Structure 1
């Protein structure tokens, strides 16, 4: 089930307390990013996504609200993965702790290809791995998994969303932290890599996307 609705309102309306087995989500980083400017017009390829250009106070309030809903709906002992970059990482960790999550690790996603910038070009993002509860917490599938994942990013000319993540990245998370038939939730679907990965791995899925354009893209992909 996918919904073209704000995730905070959607969670309140469609998700019961402690009903979700896994949350995987890629929220706005509040960087006002519209994709690469390395185009013929020198303009970003995309419009800035919703809630990605707020004041710090507005972004903090917005993040607290959706994280509080995420904490409410996630089952005790289960996992949440939140994508973020180095600039917002310390804030997101702090806010996740304040709503009750216990941070277990930081996965470094090595995109294998450098991105933009001058003062050392970016080639990585972070994925915060946290849990709800402190005892008898669900373990990931294998002790051999490490916290640096070398998975190629989607090339700029193939991206359909400014912060698009590869399905292979999301599939790895879903397989590591859930079982077939369990419920996976994404609060910020974007172009749908979590939704598609959940379908391909036989998980139930609920997702929210506020932008109608991207919602329709996910809807078509799932068909």
Structure 2
């Protein structure tokens, strides 16, 4: 991965300098023997997932978030994931999911990402170890058109739990949506909406169809060169809904670190595994930046905002900052 390539002046893609690469490499861990729960807090493990999992203890994870390679041929820096038959892809999924499940607490929740082609085998394996609660579909506003097919503009996330005893905070993930046709009751009072300096808004319950997600791109500070990077906003929805402050969030395919970064921003503990050293170092740099840059694009004032509503988000952030002042 070449962080020195020429980029546009306004390109904010996060890259590593040689000096940073040396610094962050020292923070990465690799296990060759069993480790305790106490040692597994706010760390990045740079190791093949199958090599690392046997050394991790039972029942230390509160929330599992997995974004594994989809069943497509894809280059991930120095590694290549090759397309497999559906049966072979299921076998690969089961090879690590069967080990991951023992790491979870009895009341843990799990989310696994996939596209439309990998969704059936993912579901098949996922149901072996979890009670499936829902399938989330989220809209990707980017993508190439096709002349003889529908443009692929969505991905799935399967949500499951280990038991009937699990945490879900619906109030933490409500959406603040602009009201285009405000309705009033018989007394002329607003019906389920409110007027602010930025316009009329309604607070709505979250559904399993997410249309407010922006894919990271070159002008966003969270953007990296990872080819399948998930948006911080998407991961924030999952973490806020299915974990509490102080919980441990685990991602065995960490990539450039989004899960760990969002967990830190939302006051959760994190453990991530990433086999590629470059991506793992980028994750560590993003974690450092999160200390002084805790904002999550699209989330402000305790609510998720619709896509392209930046001014409203900024106003909410200012109002929240003012309310927190003594």
TM-score (norm 2): 0.59
Q: Which residue number corresponds to residue 116 of structure 1?
A: 144
> Does residue 78 in structure 1 map to residue 108 in structure 2?
yes
Q: Which residue number corresponds to residue 43 of structure 1?
A: none
State how far apart, in whole Å, the 1-side matches of 2:106 and 2:207 are.
24
State how far apart, in whole Å, the 2-side matches of 1:105 and 1:215 are.
31
> Does residue 103 in structure 1 map to residue 165 in structure 2?
no
Q: Which residue number corresponds to residue 54 of structure 2?
A: 12
Q: CA deviation at 1:161?
A: 0.8
Q: Which residue number corresponds to residue 274 of structure 2?
A: 209
Q: CA deviation at 1:168?
A: 1.0
Q: How does 1:1-223 map to 2 (within 5 A)?
A: 1-14=43-56, 16-34=57-75, 47=77, 49-50=79-80, 52-56=81-85, 58-98=88-128, 100-111=129-140, 113-118=141-146, 119-133=149-163, 135-142=164-171, 144-150=205-211, 151-155=213-217, 159-223=224-288
Residues 109 and 160 of structure 2 are in contact (CA less than 8 Å); yes or no, is this contact kept in structure 1? yes
Query: In the TM superposition, what whole-angstrom CA distance separates every residue of 1:176-218 from its partner, at most 9, and x where no partner exists?
Result: 1101111000010111110100110111100000111111111
**Gaps spanning 5+ residues in structure 2: where?**
1-42, 175-204, 289-326
State how far apart, in whole Å, the 1-side matches of 2:250 and 2:215 are.
22
Q: Which residue number corresponds to residue 39 of structure 2?
A: none
Q: Which residue number corresponds to residue 293 of structure 2?
A: none
Q: CA deviation at 1:6?
A: 1.5
State how far apart, in whole Å, the 1-side matches of 2:102 and 2:218 are.
36
Aligned residue pairs total: 207
**Deviation >6 Å, runs of 4+:** none
Q: 1:7 to 1:177 in 2, by over 3 A?
A: same
State how far apart, in whole Å, the 2-side matches of 1:66 and 1:109 are.
25
Q: 1:186 to 1:152 in 2, by over 3 A?
A: same
Larger radius of gyration: 2
Q: CA deviation at 1:70?
A: 2.1
3-state SS of paired residue (1:190)? coil
Query: In the TM superposition, what whole-angstrom CA distance separates every residue of 1:106-135 from its partner, at most 9, and x where no partner exists?
Result: 111112x241241111111111111112x3
Q: 1:91 to 1:48 in 2, by over 3 A?
A: farther
3-state SS of paired residue (2:170)? coil
TM-score (norm 1): 0.85
Q: CA deviation at 1:136?
A: 2.7
Query: In the TM superposition, what whole-angstrom CA distance separates every residue of 1:23-75 from its partner, at most 9, and x where no partner exists?
Result: 112100020134xxxxxxxxxxx64855x215335433321121112211111
State how far apart, in whole Å, the 2-side matches of 1:121 and 1:114 are.
10
State how far apart, in whole Å, the 2-side matches of 1:97 and 1:47 are.
32
